[in-house]
Structure 1
Amino acid sequence: MLRPALLLHRRARSACLLTVGLAMTMAGCTREAAAPEAPRPVLVTRPADMAARDQASFAGEIRAREESPLAFQVGGRLIRRLVDAGARVEQGQPLAEIEPADLRLQAQSAQAQLAAAEAEYARARTDRARYAQLVDQQLVSRSTMDAQDAAYRAAQAQVRAARAQADVAGNQAGYARLLAPRAGVIASRQAEAGEVVAAGQPIYTLAGDDGREVAIALPELGIERYRLGQPAQITLWSRPDVRLAGTIREIAAAADPQTRTYAARVALDADAGDVELGQSARVFLAPAGDDRALRVPLAAIQPGADGGKTVWVVDPGDGTLRRVPVETGPYGASTVPVRAGLDADALVVAAGGHLLREGQLVAPVDRDNRPVRVGSAAQGPVK
């Protein structure tokens, strides 16, 4: 009688252990199911950085806004150069001299001719007064008096002409010295002492102090994308980490027949800093229109409701995804301009958007596979 009871007890104990084991197994499965999802790595970029990378850049050279070729107004032999290239000069400072002997002789000759004309004028005036008295006494004819009047007026005109010639000769004698018309720097020298120069032949090139510009060449293809007054950024080869502000001041009306490019000048702002003539520079221009808008990669655009466009944006607070509707422009080769709906510093998922979902936790990385910190940590630059 005891053996069946013992057998029943053992069976009940086994059933209890089996029940406990199943319960523990189900509890373990529940704990595994409730474990948090690991953040999914996603490649992100910022629209402002994409727009900056799409900026066109052009190599250029720092030039003065006013570059004046300086020349003598008269010809002669250059006897002295008083400054050299690179020298800073002030307004009115002598720069060079030509042989003044011939100019002085011409001035003396003009003065002598003036003296002769004045003497002839004095004689004609005296004769006219004498003949006027004879006409009153009816001792000479009226026609003789008319001849004296004509001679008087001719002598008077000769004096005016001789005086003008003397003034010109005197001015030319003063042209033997070449003076700086304004303050600036001598950019180049084109003549040497002892050389016979013609009137108007450049001796120096003066770069004025009225401003600095960058001379660049714009391509024929897409020239309509650039306008006068368009903002630009300039970097110097000696200071690549500093960007100076500027604007397009001038664009040539016709392309160069050899290079087929349009010469342009980009004026630096007044507070752009100290730059030197001849420095190498690079100008960054954001073309007008949609090309100046924020840009995202083609793969970042996802279909939205009612045929619209959306992008995935990483929430900087908690690192989750949210879908943001955007208005786009014409598609480019690798990027899309975003006209509205997106902030310049937003973290946009650049690829794989079809595998993501709203509210998903992600781990953003840049194109160099470096983590981009979100949350309370400051976000670094995304390239």
Structure 2
Amino acid sequence: MSRFHLVNRVGQFFVLCFLVFAMIGCGDRIAPPADQPANVRTEIAEVIARPRRRTLTGEYRARIQSDLSFRVGGRIASRNVDVGDRVEPGQILASLDTLQPVADVKAAQAALRSAEAAQQDALAEAERIEKLLESNSASQAEFDNAKAALLIAQGAVEVAKSTLANTESQLLFTDLQAESAGVIVARQAEVGLVVGPAETVFTIAEDGDREAVFDVFPTHIPERPVDDIISLKLVSNPNVKTEGTIREIAPSIDPASGTVRVKVAVPDPPSEMKLGASVVGEAQFRPMDVVQLPWTAMMRKGDQASVWVVDPQNQTVSQRVVEVESHQSGVMLVTQGLQPGEIVVVDGVQLLHPGQTVNPMQTPSDKSTLPTGTNP
């Protein structure tokens, strides 16, 4: 490299260093750029009435369902009805094997005849001793013993009569009869099965009032429906519809399922609505006042939902904790935390900080498509 080129390179280096130090020295005299307001889109909070409803699936059944069972145990010899059959009072539904009960009745009858014969012998002996006593041919002790034997024989006859009546009733109880008119809705036993006393064999839905039964989680019943009216329709055929009224809400929660049983009286059921059918019940509740906002407006403050609210006086934002009832169809429904007329940021919330100045651009909101509250 020539000397000329070396001098040229050294000169360029000194010129570059001079420019750098000159810029550093003048830096404290350059004013920073002003903080520009953030452009955000906003909506004005408007309180609107949101319709609410709940739909649940339940079972249509008779208001009174009775479990039928034999009063005595034994082996089922015959069954005369099946599920879905209609029965009338006094109709024999099933029968037990009568071999053993009949043998018990015959044994009780024989025991009664034996006791009656013994009673006659004791009576005759007592009368004989009494005549001998009158002629001083028998002692008073002998007569007393004869009377005691007669009393024992009379007691044995009463016991035999009671035993016979019990065995005869046991024989009558081998027939299971319907106590009221209705429809068989369940069968728990078959021919040949040995059942015990009071063991359920049939379940009968008695004629009379009908109802729909729902097992509902407590969170699905925020309050009683309007006028306690429930709209009902069949799951298998939604065109079959009717209305019912809440008759009973269980006062306690079922510990096994965690649900509350709700019974809805159905005063005028359609003929197509059969016992045991699955039905859908829909309850209408009083509207709830909410503020509808796009879901993009939501932020988190700790573990709580929040939104940015614009101060109309100085155009600054503050973070406000709100209570969100639900999220539906791209919107969130706020029940607490906002007042009507407040300006809420709905777009551009990610880069904001408390006290920041914004340039709000209002977005027209369309509340005509407010979603109806349904099951969560």
- Please give the TM-score of this superposition, normalised by the length of structure 1: 0.58
- Residues 256-309 of structure 1, C-alpha deviations (whole Å, 9 max, x = no match): 23x2223x24142433444311111233456xxxxx65544447xxxxxxxxxx
Measured at CA, do residues 265 and 136 of structure 1 come closer, stay the same or move farther in structure 2, by a change above 3 Å? farther
**3-state SS of the aligned residue for 1:54?**
strand
| Residue 367 (structure 1) aligns with | 369
Residues of 2 paired with 1:181 and 1:203: CA distance? Answer: 14
DSSP 3-state at the match of 2:243? strand
Do the aligned residues in 2 keep the contact of 1:295 with 1:335 (CA within 8 Å)? no
Give the C-alpha shift of residue 176 in structure 1: 2.4
Inter-CA distance 243–353: structure 2 relative to 1 (3 Å threshold)? farther
- Find the aligned partners of 1:224 and 1:354 in 2 and give their Cα distance: 28
Distance 1:58 1:141, change over 3 A: farther
Correspondent of 1:188 among 182, 186, 189: 186
CA distance in 1, matches of 2:224, 2:103: 57
> Which residue in 1 is equivalent to 2:117?
119
Q: What is the distance in 1 between the residues matched to 2:167 and 2:128?
A: 36
> Aligned equivalents of 1:135 and 1:231: distance in 2?
88
Establish whether residue 105 from structure 1 lines up as the match of residue 103 from structure 2: yes
Question: How far, CA to CA, are the matches of 2:266 and 2:196 in structure 1?
Answer: 39
Deviation at 1:69, TM superposition (A): 2.3
Is 1:76–1:197's contact at 8 Å kept on the other side of the alignment?
A: yes
CA shift digits 1:72-130 (9 cap, x unpaired):
22233322221111111111111122221221111111111111111112222222233
2:146 counterpart of 1:175: no
Contiguous gaps of at least 5 residues in structure 2: 1-45, 293-322, 326-332, 344-365, 372-376
Q: Judge conservation of contact 2:242–2:270 (CA < 8 Å) in 1.
A: no
Residue 235 of structure 1 aligns with an amino acid whose one-letter code is: L
Aligned to 2:232: 235
Matched, 1:68 2:66: yes
Higher relative contact order (CA 8 A, sep 6+): 2
Distance of 2:74 and 2:242 partners within structure 1: 48
Conserved in 1, the CA contact under 8 Å of 2:230 and 2:264?
no
The alignment's TM-score, normalised by the length of structure 2, stands at 0.59
1:170–1:226 Cα change, 3 Å? farther
Structure with the bigger percentage of strand: 2
Structure 1 pair 178/365, CA: closer, same or farther in 2 (3 Å)? same
> Which of 216, 219, 223 in structure 1 is aligned with 2:217?
219
Which residue pairs with 1:133 in the alignment? 131
Identify which of 55, 80, 83 aligns with 1:82: 80
When structure 1 is superposed on structure 2, of 161-170 and 145-154 the one drifting more is 145-154
Match of 1:162 in 2: 160
Q: CA offset at residue 365 of structure 1?
A: 8.8
Q: CA–CA distance in 2 between the matches of 1:81 and 1:242?
A: 36
Q: Deviations over 1:119-168 (max 9, x none)?
A: 11222222223333333444333333222222222222211111111111
Structure 1 254/97 Cα, relative in aligned 2: closer, same or farther at 3 Å? same
Partner of 1:143: 141
| d(CA) in 2 for partners of 1:236, 1:145 | 85
Secondary structure of the 1:122 match is: helix
Residues of 2 paired with 1:124 and 1:250: CA distance? 68
- Aligned pair in 2 of structure 1 residues 143, 198: CA closer, same or farther (>3 Å)? same
Question: Secondary structure at 1:260's aligned position in 2?
Answer: coil
Q: Distance in 1 between matches of 2:155 and 2:110?
A: 16
CA contact (8 A) 1:234 1:281 kept: no
State the secondary structure of the residue aligned to 2:104. helix
Q: Contact 1:189–1:203 at 8 Å: present in 2 too?
A: yes
Partners of 1:46 and 1:224 in 2: CA distance: 19
Structure 1 Cα separation of the partners of residues 207 and 141 of structure 2: 67
For the aligned residues, what is the CA RMSD?
Answer: 4.0
SS in structure 2 of the partner of residue 73 of structure 1? coil
Q: For residues 166 and 60 of structure 2, what CA distance do their matches in structure 1 show?
A: 40
- Structure-2 residue corresponding to 1:249: 248
Number of matched residues?
A: 266
Match of 2:204 in 1: 206
Give the whole-Å Cα distance in 1 for the aligned partners of 2:89 and 2:278.
Answer: 28
Any conservation in 1 of the 2:211–2:266 contact (CA below 8 Å)?
Answer: no
- Give the direction of change, closer, same or farther, for the CA distance of 1:335–1:365 in structure 2 (3 Å limit): closer
How far 1:251 moved relative to its partner?
1.1
The CA deviation at 1:249 is: 2.6
Please tell me whether the aligned partners of residues 56 and 285 of structure 1 are also in contact (alpha carbons under 8 angstroms). Answer: yes
Q: Is the 8 A contact 2:90 2:177 kept in 1?
A: yes
Is the Cα contact below 8 Å between 1:45 and 1:366 reproduced in 2?
no
